[in-house]
Structure 1
Amino acid sequence: MTIAPGRPGPVVVMAFIVTLAGRFTLSRAGVDIPIVNDVRVPLFFVLLLCLALEAHRMGPHPVSGGEALLGVLALLGYQGLSALWVPPGTPTGPVVGDLCAVAGLLVVYYTLANWDRDQVTGTTLVLFQVTAWIYFLAAASGRGHAPGNRWAALGGGPNVFVRLMILGVISSIYLYLRSGDRLIWLVPIPAFLFGAIASGSRGGIAALGITAGVALLAIRPKLDFDRLAKPLGLLLVVGAVLVITAGPYIAGFVQSRFVEATIGEGYASQRDVLFRMALRIFLQRPILGTGVSGFYTVTDLGPGEKYVHNLPLATAAEGGFVGLALLTMAWLGLWHAYIAVPKPERSLESRTAAYCGIFIGGASLFSGDYYDARLMWILLLLASVRPAHAPVPSRR
């Protein structure tokens, strides 16, 4: 008896929850349980259990492009190994645990992609849409705002919030195209953009600009202005309503956060200082760097500044030239696997995942640490792997 392969919806939902949970600890809820205090421990256990229970339902859907995964795992492995040469007193345990968690998530998503890559990616994009709405409504209700009245929600900071808002924008475009150009899916875009601006995350807005620039270069030869007239008109109408209702609030915030603080006073949230320190450490230790989490020990900036907030510079400072080379090879491996598929054969899910990954990569130039880049690796991996051609059965 042959069991028909099922669709990997429930397991993908569980994988998404584990990915989104981040480093949430039960201590925030007033509970302290030594082993499971980090919610990733029980969540990973449940995820692996679900994957094992559903393994018999996986059909023969092999994917190619797995060499791209090996490149990312090589980088993560080297970063974990660099804990061997960190300065004395450097707390490496939490960061090594983060690297192992990223590697585990990548293996899980690659396994799911072997099941049904486009189904996994499509379900993940739908979940981004749902999550963006939950975060937007939570922030709009006034709960979880960060200092300076910057929008945030559900325990995440403004930089987490802006990433989910922009992923909500991209997933809205995906749902619009998948549904056959139903305009209803474009309605949330002005609201999500409003939330992104209200987060006050300048890095997130810059990452959106980078992603939009890449997208325009890619689709410029195929732009159909007649087809764009209705969706652009709808966005203008919804945007105008949003500006009329909430314009005064956001105008004052933009003036103080983006114009006066950023342009007028040159305030960069100490990113310029952190970047210069990371570059100096790289020049002092150019081959192997300080080792993972060594930036925190060497700079001694206090508990508030544990990492560089820039993925390439952090990798250079803590991994040296070797780490930077592995990071470059990981990106190039993903890119090579993606372009190996001819453009007409790239699915909508693959292209959308690529833009989502580019956005998270752009955001990783301004905020976050190694674990905060997990979505970039996952989405770029889903964009790069592709269904392999089924082997032709031999005839006797």
Structure 2
Amino acid sequence: MNSEPGRPGLVVVIAFIVTLAGRFTLSRTGLDLPIVNDVRVPLFFVLLLSLILEAHRMGPHPVTGVTALFGILALLLYQGFSALWVPPGTPTGPVVGDLCAVAGLLIVYFTLANWDRDRVTATTLVLFHIAAWVYFLAAATGRGHAAGGRWAALGGGPNVFVRLMILGVITSIYLYLRSGERLIWLIPIPVFLFGAIASGSRGGIVALGLTIVIALLAIRPKLDFDRLAKPLGLLLVVGAVLVITAGPSIAGFVQSRFVEATIGEGYASQRDVLFRMALRIFLQRPILGTGVSGFYTVTDLGPGEKYVHNLPLSIAAEGGSAGLALLLVAWIGLWQAYVAVPARERSLESRTAAYCGIFIGGTSLFSGDYYDARLMWILLLLAAVRPAPEHVPLSR
């Protein structure tokens, strides 16, 4: 007699911790342990061990959408191989390690989705919500702030902070809908938006705007303004209270960062310079690019600017047209897997993961490197794959 398969739990939490930890090193805490200084080494070991130990509890039915995974892995594999034609003296080891880590995480999450996609996605979304609160409360104490008073926390910069804040907003909406529209889940939204503004991340705010536009285009036919009146009223009240009580603490920062520097002076944190350099490198090496991490060597901008802060431009400069083609294939594969499911049959978890992934993709146009894009790939993959139909035995 076959027993019911187990439900994924602790292993999803471990996978989330590994994903969120990023490139945190023990040297930040004053320790120097050669092998485990990069915490990904012990964390990946624990994750893989836990996955192996739980393998016997997984269900028998796979998910569809494996081609979407193969598309992303093909891009990562090509980027790794591009280390073969980098300029002399280019440090490729750390970046290749990052690419391997992203590939490993994607395989782990696909395996977990193969186990129970919606439960894995739901648990991951709840963990993002919890992480958003942890980061906000840590930043609210004043610890970890970046230069100029920009909010950050727990060793991550402002651009990491804003990603978690907006993921907190999206997961608040998810929890509101999942709970049967209990208004209490909407209260954190103004709080997280406050944190996003306090981060000073203009790219994060633009990415949020892009995500909202895409979401409105998708749900516009289903909008019920009578149904929205009460939640919008609550958000306005909570937002007004927050602005009155806490707004003055960041009013000067908002004025200098967003109004004077951005609008008045056109300050772009050198992103415009980096983007032009990446485009020039692509035009000079249009087929294969400089190879992974080659942008840093070719531009010689110093230790502060190692990458382009724009995922497509970075791939264009370092991977050429071949890399851009693989990036397009990866995105198209995810999109085709997602729309293969009729809209009425998509789970709330799948739709929420899609919007989270779109937002992270938007932020990848303004900040971060290849490893920082891992959340985009993971969330879009969870949105795209779906449980396969029940296996029907072949007739004899």
Q: TM-score range by the shorter chain?
A: over 0.9
1:2 and 1:90 map into 2 onto residues whose CA distance is: 55
Structure 1 equivalent of residue 106 of structure 2: 106
Secondary structure in 2 matching 1:23: coil
1:233 and 1:183 map into 2 onto residues whose CA distance is: 11
Structure 2 equivalent of residue 94 of structure 1: 94
Secondary structure in 2 matching 1:155: coil
Structure 1: which amino acid aligns with 2:280? Answer: R
Structure 1: which amino acid aligns with 2:175? Answer: L
Asked whether 1:33 is paired with 2:42, we answer no
Aligned partners of 1:307 and 1:369 also within 8 Å: yes
Structure 2 equivalent of residue 155 of structure 1: 155
Structure 2 equivalent of residue 235 of structure 1: 235
Structure 2 equivalent of residue 258 of structure 1: 258
1:323 and 1:89 map into 2 onto residues whose CA distance is: 22
Aligned partners of 2:61 and 2:388 also within 8 Å: yes
Structure 2: which amino acid aligns with 1:37? Answer: N
**1:311-333 Cα deviation digits (max 9, x unpaired):** 00000000000000000110011
Moved more, 33-42 or 298-307: 33-42
C-alpha RMSD of the superposition: 0.8
Pairing 1:263-342 to 2, within 5 Å after superposition: 263-342=263-342
Pairing 1:1-396 to 2, within 5 Å after superposition: 1-394=1-394
Task: Kindly state the Cα deviation for residue 255 of structure 1 after the two structures are TM-superposed.
Answer: 1.0
2:254 and 2:24 map into 1 onto residues whose CA distance is: 30
Moved more, 386-395 or 348-357: 386-395
**How many pairs were matched up?**
396
**1:148-175 Cα deviation digits (max 9, x unpaired):** 0000000000000000000000000000
**1:289-331 Cα deviation digits (max 9, x unpaired):** 0000000000000000000000000000000000000001100
1:265 and 1:257 map into 2 onto residues whose CA distance is: 10
Task: Kindly state the Cα deviation for residue 254 of structure 1 after the two structures are TM-superposed.
Answer: 1.4
Aligned partners of 2:285 and 2:317 also within 8 Å: yes
Aligned partners of 1:69 and 1:381 also within 8 Å: yes
Task: Kindly state the Cα deviation for residue 337 of structure 1 after the two structures are TM-superposed.
Answer: 0.5
Task: Kindly state the Cα deviation for residue 249 of structure 1 after the two structures are TM-superposed.
Answer: 2.2
Task: Kindly state the Cα deviation for residue 394 of structure 1 after the two structures are TM-superposed.
Answer: 4.5
**1:323-379 Cα deviation digits (max 9, x unpaired):** 000001100110011001001110000000000000000000000000000000000
Aligned partners of 1:61 and 1:116 also within 8 Å: no
Task: Kindly state the Cα deviation for residue 251 of structure 1 after the two structures are TM-superposed.
Answer: 2.3
2:207 and 2:109 map into 1 onto residues whose CA distance is: 24
What is the identity percentage for the equivalent residue pairs of Structure 1 and Structure 2? 86
Task: Kindly state the Cα deviation for residue 247 of structure 1 after the two structures are TM-superposed.
Answer: 1.8
1:297 and 1:203 map into 2 onto residues whose CA distance is: 26
Secondary structure in 2 matching 1:196: helix
Q: Following superposition, which runs of at least 4 residues in structure 1 exceed 3 angstroms of deviation? A: 393-396
Secondary structure in 2 matching 1:159: helix
Task: Kindly state the Cα deviation for residue 47 of structure 1 after the two structures are TM-superposed.
Answer: 0.1
- Alignment TM-score, normalising by the size of structure 2: 0.99
Aligned partners of 2:64 and 2:387 also within 8 Å: yes
- Alignment TM-score, normalising by the size of structure 1: 0.99
Tell me, which stretches of 5 or more residues in structure 1 are unaligned? none
1:189 and 1:178 map into 2 onto residues whose CA distance is: 16
Secondary structure in 1 matching 2:151: coil
Structure 2: which amino acid aligns with 1:283? Answer: L
**1:257-285 Cα deviation digits (max 9, x unpaired):** 00100010110000000000000000000
Task: Kindly state the Cα deviation for residue 395 of structure 1 after the two structures are TM-superposed.
Answer: 5.3
**1:203-226 Cα deviation digits (max 9, x unpaired):** 000000000000000000000011
2:277 and 2:357 map into 1 onto residues whose CA distance is: 27
2:20 and 2:286 map into 1 onto residues whose CA distance is: 34
Task: Kindly state the Cα deviation for residue 393 of structure 1 after the two structures are TM-superposed.
Answer: 3.2
Secondary structure in 1 matching 2:338: helix
Aligned partners of 2:61 and 2:391 also within 8 Å: no
